[in-house]
Structure 1
Amino acid sequence: MMKGLMIWGTTSDAGKSYLVTGLCRALSNRGYKVAPFKGQNMSNNSFVTGSGHEIGRAQGLQAEAARVEATVHMNPILLKPRGDSTAEVIIHGESLGSPQAMEYRQDFFGKAFSAVEESLSILEQSYDVVIMEGAGSPVEVNLMDKDIANLVTASMTDVPALLIADIEKGGLFASVIGTLDLLPHPHRNRVKGLIVNQFRGDRRLFKDGERWLKKRTGLPVHGILPKLDIRMEGEDSLSFSAIEFSSVSTEPSIDIAVIALPYVSNYTDIEPFSAEPDVSVRIVRNSSEFGTPDAVILPGSRSTIHDYLYLLEKGLINKIISFYELEKGYVVGVCGGFQMLGEELNDNEGRDSKKSGTVVKGASLFPIRTYFMDNKKTTQWNGYFITEDSSRYPISGFEIHTGQTDCNNQTACMPLFYDEYGNPEGLRSSDHRLIGTYIHHHFYNDTWRTYWLNQIRLSKNLKRRDSIPFKDSKNEQLDKLADTFETYLDLDEIIHVVERAKK
């Protein structure tokens, strides 16, 4: 039996990822070598490991919290939704295509089971403790027989579990009792404690509730986490709206509008703006919400053509074109968003749209055509950008895309970045008001982010600002989360649960 802990939630978005992230940092602070793990993740927010493999973004952040390098074994199976019943299946970082949901359950389960088993064996040999995150609820009765992320992982490892419930959603007592009641007997016995999440107000007001839960379930409440003002990168589409935040400065702020996409991917590209005190970020879902932003960001997409046609129908493509051409605004396209800004989206083989012969006219702000093919590029990327005074500054990020983009007018295609070998990447207008790139997390580079923001500041007659180290800010947030857990969770008892189970 491995030394670890399973985190289950009564619902999706109950706080499982948050709890695993905080526990990884808190246990790391106490000297443990910790690994996060999620057997099967469904998310379009992904992370590229140093080996060039794709895993869920949440596990990448959790590895960072644990101060260890993220590996493909921390998330052996990643499902990236491409429609209501299809998803790209990625096992150990390699894409196996996009089967229908029923086909996956019938034909891929054996491969998935073996992948999880292999990864857990490797993690067990390399780390002191493995903190495992379940998915959704562990008691979806129609899925229990092949619930890899929850019951299958728990059976393989035979670790104890904690159950977390979000009191802010309402119905906490019913959801806790219902979850425990529906768990098969061996798994009900492995639950050793409860966590209450998002509690507002004086915790003493929950004493009666805590006593009731202990009497009714026989389980202790190992902690009551308050409603926290600690930003963490989101895992899936449920977290997309949470990227909105307002400027904390009394000075005039920069208003950034992020265009909502049905199949948005890697929207964590926007997170670094949370460190900028004069920047506000908001989500725009239709043309009536567009307003008068200073900049517009088109994020990545898991289904570019579908999302482009959606924006066209909502009137947002015309809004963006007018914003750039007539209002002289700043527009950024990242990955799928970059592809949409071109002249044509060519999917003759049906790789993106699932319909062969599909060719769609794009926004035509860049003289480019994108061709969708089978080959998928997943790699970490390093390079540099050049400023007006010919100064070079390093920049890094990662690529995840299937499209190949070609420029139709080389004289009009000004590179945005250059890779470490001097090859051009992305495009920009001469005044940097229009930029497009395949590099995710480029705004995580403080010098580049500040350079771009300062151009907007100067266009508004605002003062330039110095760089704010986002990585330091992120680490401060992780430490703050761990400190909060030390205060509001019974970490000593949680560690005892893990240690006792190993004996």
Structure 2
Amino acid sequence: MKGVMIQGTASDVGKSLVVTALCRILSTEGVKVAPFKSQNMSNNSYVTIDGKEIGRAQGIQAEAARTEATVWMNPILLKPRSHQDSEVVYLGKAIETFSGREYRENFYEKGLNVIRESFQMLSNQFEMVVIEGAGSPVEINLKDRELVNMKVAALADVPVVLVADIDRGGVFASIIGTLELMEPDERKRVAGVIINKFRGDITLFEDGVRWIEEKTGIPVLGVLPYIEHHMIDGEDSLSIANQFSNQKRGDVDVVVIQLPFISNYSDLEPFLFEDDVSIRWVKHVDEFGAPDAVIIPGTKSTIQDLKFIKDQGLDVKIKNHFKNGGFTVGICGGYQILGDEMIDEAGSDTGIVNSRLQGIGLIPGKTIFYKEKETIRTVAAYHEDTGFPEKIPLEGYEIHLGKTVIKQKGCSFLKLEDGKEEGYFHYNGQLIGTYLHHLFHNDEWRNRWLNLIRKRKGLAVKEIRNLRDYKDQRYTALAVEMKAHLKWDLLKEIIENWSSGE
């Protein structure tokens, strides 16, 4: 199987975006292509059609490649649960929680084996693979047992293209330094360099391109422009600041509690494309202000993040916000946090069996954490308790350990495909809790909820903005934009004619 690996001089240089663009370019040219990342560390995940969990970036890249995402595209997903420990999701299922040292010592051979198996599975179904690395390939303290960069390129025997971020500064040093720290056999595998996130007139960097090529002997395959509002979901918490930092201030002020172990923050990205909505990420009470709505997102460590909310005094702010008529939504872990109590029956959330913590207490429900995680794609409709007459389908997915029991009758939010009631909806939508991730990616629902707020504020209601079709258009637009700035024929030639000589 042919392929190419995209590595970076550092984290967040744009590897995921480049891989996404390459997948769409190749797919458009008729190539049956798959994305791949051996090991992902992210709490922003994606549920495959068969209910397995992989990194969100690979799910998005599969969409760009016009294929269905599978666990073979991301066989290992590490989901941080604390500053020391991560849950290991292996072929889509959570198997164990390790510290960083335990993982390096106990998982390396198993990781190598599943990477080899993944390549074999992908080679049976696809003509080409576009592989994403992680962080930097020259982290000297980690290289002897790494599962994400040059070891993977060697296993797949593909050329490497090194991506550098010019926007952060020091692009020449980052390229030269990375290459100098590589072993000779690794250095020979680097077949090209891409400069990413260039602002302004790209022709002004022509001297820089010549210098890099003369200094390294490696072709610069493109200088890619800084692309804002590309609507490609971010991979990790580093992307939150980038995606939301330049946001305009709108008439509808939505606060999102920035939890230490936030997960699936892609739930909030559709609001970036609503002209009158601004999203503010809040970690401290002095940032809270007087928002129209508060959203508590998902979390990998619900009880720890509830403690954070209480330690910061944000629980008082949230309760007062609701009492004063503000809209409040909890998604997944945020739903659990808004309840009366959480009981970690299996120790699966905290590691302490039967630990308990009182929630914020706005939703009359109790959450119990069990051992097995539930991951499923689902389709739901509004429950009759909401008073909404339409049976419009809402699509999303669930990823959670706990199950929440609501004590109050007549206030369900959704009815699932299997007929079960889900979530909490009360006070005409002023208070909502649900396990359905990507709720706000449903255009009709997002518009309905925002119009509830607009009416309350005396603002004009707005028509539905269709972001689903827009997102697929953005994959194509991203591919067209990047291809225009790539030496595409040269890159294809490198892939087609690659031979490591090993």
1:276 aligns with 274
Matched, 1:300 2:298: yes
Aligned to 2:349: 352
Give the alignment of 1:47-446 within 5 angstroms.
47-229=46-228, 230-244=230-244, 253-325=251-323, 327-386=324-383, 388-407=387-406, 409-411=407-409, 414-446=411-443
Q: RMSD of the TM alignment (CA)? A: 1.6
Find the residue that maps to 2:87 and give its secondary structure: strand
Query: Quick one: distance in 1 between partners of 2:25 and 2:252?
Result: 35
2:472 aligned with 1:475? yes
Evaluate the alpha carbon distance shift between residue 204 and residue 158 of structure 1 in structure 2; reply closer, same or farther with a 3 A threshold: same
Paired residue secondary structure (1:52): coil
Return structure 1 stretches of 4+ with deviation > 4 angstroms: 245-249
Name structure 2 gaps, 5 residues minimum: none
Q: Which moved more, 1:104-113 or 1:353-362?
A: 353-362
The letter of the residue matching 2:241 is S
Residues 428-472 of structure 1: CA distance to partner in whole angstroms, max 9, x if unpaired? Answer: 113110000011011111111111111111111222222111111
Distance 1:343 1:472, change over 3 A: same
1:482 offset after TM fit, Å?
Answer: 0.7
Amino acid paired to 1:231 = M
Q: Distance in 2 between matches of 1:389 and 1:397?
A: 19
**Matches of 1:416 and 1:146 in 2, distance apart?**
47
Contact 1:38–1:133 (8 Å) recurs in 2: yes
Aligned AA for 1:323?
Answer: H
Shift of 1:248: 6.6
1:246 is displaced (CA, Å) by: 7.1
Return the letter of the residue paired with 1:141.
I
Query: What SS class does the counterpart of residue 329 from structure 2 fall into?
Result: strand
Q: How many residues align?
A: 497
How far residue 392 of structure 1 moved from its aligned partner, in angstroms, is 1.4
TM-score by structure 1 length?
A: 0.96
- Give 2:257's aligned amino acid: I
What amino acid is the match of 2:489?
D
Please state whether the residue corresponding to 1:165 is helix, strand or coil: strand
Q: The residue matched to 2:123 in structure 1 has which SS?
A: helix
Q: For residues 482 and 127 of structure 2, what CA distance do their matches in structure 1 show?
A: 20
**Contact 1:105–1:146 under 8 Å retained in 2:** yes
Structure 1: how far apart are the matches of 2:10 and 2:28? 29
CA distances 1:80-135 after superposition (whole Å, capped 9, x unpaired): 01112210001111111102221111212222111111111111121121000000
Residue 339 of structure 1 contacts residue 370 of structure 1 at CA under 8 Å; is this kept in 2?
A: yes
Residue identity (%): 46
Aligned 8 A contact 1:345 1:371 in 2: yes
State the secondary structure of the residue aligned to 1:477.
Answer: helix
Letter in 1 for 2:152: T
| Distance change in 2, residues 1:389/1:236 (3 Å) | closer
Structure 1: stretches of 5+ with no match in the other structure: none
Deviations 1:168-208 (A, max 9, x none): 11111111111111112222111111111111222222122
**Separation in 1 of the partners of 2:104 and 2:481?**
40
